[in-house]
Chains A and B, each alone.
Chain A
Amino acid sequence: MTGVRRATGVPILRLGDVLVTGLLEELDDRSATAFLDELTERITAEGAKGVLIDISRLTIIDSFVARTLSELTTTARLLGTRVIVAGMRPPVAITLVELGLRLDGVETALTAERGMAALGWFRTASSQEVGHGDHAG
């Protein structure tokens, strides 16, 4: 598993044709750029059809990271890959909107699970239904 951890310290895992990654803490500008570079490289190298970025641990997203996410989406689209940003916290969403950063073009999902489903990864339909049914209400 070479390349799971690199300079940015952000793990990027491959599940089939989907790359899964998550931002654990706020990135400074340099590591955000490094992350962008690495991810783009991995997309081309592994021919990924989708990228899932889980940001449920982030309590803050500054304008630079927001722009990086937008750029990543655009870049990936040019490479024929879908990017889904999953798990944004409510306060983060509110802050972004108030700053006028709407992450145009970026696909979002409520949870990593939903994001994977959108990228074509399903648990068997029945188990998903049961799982949701149990938690609902």
Chain B
Amino acid sequence: MGFSHVDDIQDASGEGRERRCDRGTRGFDVSAIESAGRARVARALRDHEAEIAENWINLQVEQDVLVAGIGEGELRGEADQLVASLRGALADEELPTARLASEHAELRRTLAELSLRRARGGATPAAISLAVLALKDVVLEILRRSTRDATELFEAAVVLNRVLDAGGILAFDQYVATREEIISRQSRQLMELSTPVVRLWRHVLAVPLIGTLDTSRTQVVMESLLQSIKDDEAQVAIIDITGVAAVDTSVAHHLMQTVAAVRLMGADCVISGIRPPIAQTIAQLGVDLSAILTRATLADALAAALRITGDAPLPAGVGGGS
């Protein structure tokens, strides 16, 4: 097939034009500039591997894009790995230069790991991208020492730009993805934290709801409430919405669903903490909560709950025994 000249890409400097005809049938356009440039950059990366890695680290220090906490050895390993995988990617003739960073498995992984490591160390996404982009300057400097030919330099610069610009963006993307993951994990934790089911009295449970009620939140509340009802053999569950910022039709609907599920379990439900403005909103919305026992305060709700369970309310300071 036409792919057999992987080897001669190394000494291809002059003959790019010919190869271009070869490639015409391949569906993407590897221009003559690109293939010559790729060969040149790949050769520079091979011949000056250690120097490039060293200079890259130094440049990063100069540009002040490093964060504390990454050791010298680690940095060196990172640099070697990036240089090596970049060279490997450039030798892969299957992929056009602009897509190397996103589609060459090893280069992609190297960039992702770099981004992840620095993101954990607290680097900004800009700093991570700049660090990747700094490699351009370093390689270009090496190339400039080896040739004075403007065309050759230009070809190499185009290739470097294409591959490392994409690399910088990928590193940025990776940072964002990592952050997204952290955010979603935190919101999950927050959700778990913010829906505690507390035991108020014998057979009486309460869920103080704080924040906003949406479908996923209702789901979590419902699950943990029903499980606690089962575990504690509770007879009454009090849902306290003092901390709920606003009630609209969907929130009301979610509340009714929860109440219905509690009833199916064989327990009663009291909703408390309906502040005057919220009561007004509910009335204005025309939501029918008449099937649900509601009380203004948690204390009233507890009194109502005790009437349901048959436990007489006791004076303060006396325990829950009968």
Q: Which of A91, A114, A132, A135 contacts B266 (CB 8 A)?
A: A114
A98 to B254, CA, bound (A): 10
Contact residues in A for B264 (Cβ distance below 8 Å): 88, 92-93, 96-97, 102-103, 108
Q: Which residues does A use to contact B, with CB under 8 Å?
A: 85-94, 96-98, 102-103, 108-111, 114-115, 129, 132-133, 135-137
Known: A94-B226, A96-B264, A108-B265. 9 other contacts (CB 8 A): A85-B266, A93-B261, A97-B222, A102-B263, A108-B266, A110-B266, A115-B266, A132-B233, A136-B232
A25 to B199, CA, bound (A): 33
Q: Which 7 A-B pairs have the closest CB atoms?
A: A90-B226, A108-B266, A109-B266, A110-B266, A93-B264, A93-B261, A97-B261
A89 to B226, CA, bound (A): 8
Contact residues in A for B226 (Cβ distance below 8 Å): 90, 93-94
17 CB-based A-B contacts, threshold 8 Å: A88-B265, A90-B229, A93-B262, A94-B222, A94-B261, A97-B257, A97-B260, A102-B260, A108-B266, A109-B266, A110-B230, A110-B233, A111-B233, A115-B266, A129-B322, A132-B233, A136-B202
Q: Is the CB of A108 within 8 A of B202?
A: no
A64 to B321, CA, bound (A): 44
Kindly state whether residue B192 has any CB partner on chain A within 8 Å.
Answer: no
Please give the distance in Å from B319's CB to the nearest CB on chain A.
Answer: 12
Contact residues in B for A86 (Cβ distance below 8 Å): 266
A102 to B261, CA, bound (A): 8
Please give the distance in Å from A108's CB to the nearest CB on chain B.
Answer: 4
Please give the distance in Å from A71's CB to the nearest CB on chain B.
Answer: 17
Kindly state whether residue B113 has any CB partner on chain A within 8 Å.
Answer: no
Q: Which of A98, A103, A111 contacts B257 (CB 8 A)?
A: A98
Kindly state whether residue B223 has any CB partner on chain A within 8 Å.
Answer: yes
Most chain A beta-carbon contacts within 10 A, residue among B202, B232, B233, B260: B260
Q: Is the CB of A110 within 8 A of B235?
A: yes
Contact residues in A for B321 (Cβ distance below 8 Å): 133
Contact residues in A for B274 (Cβ distance below 8 Å): none
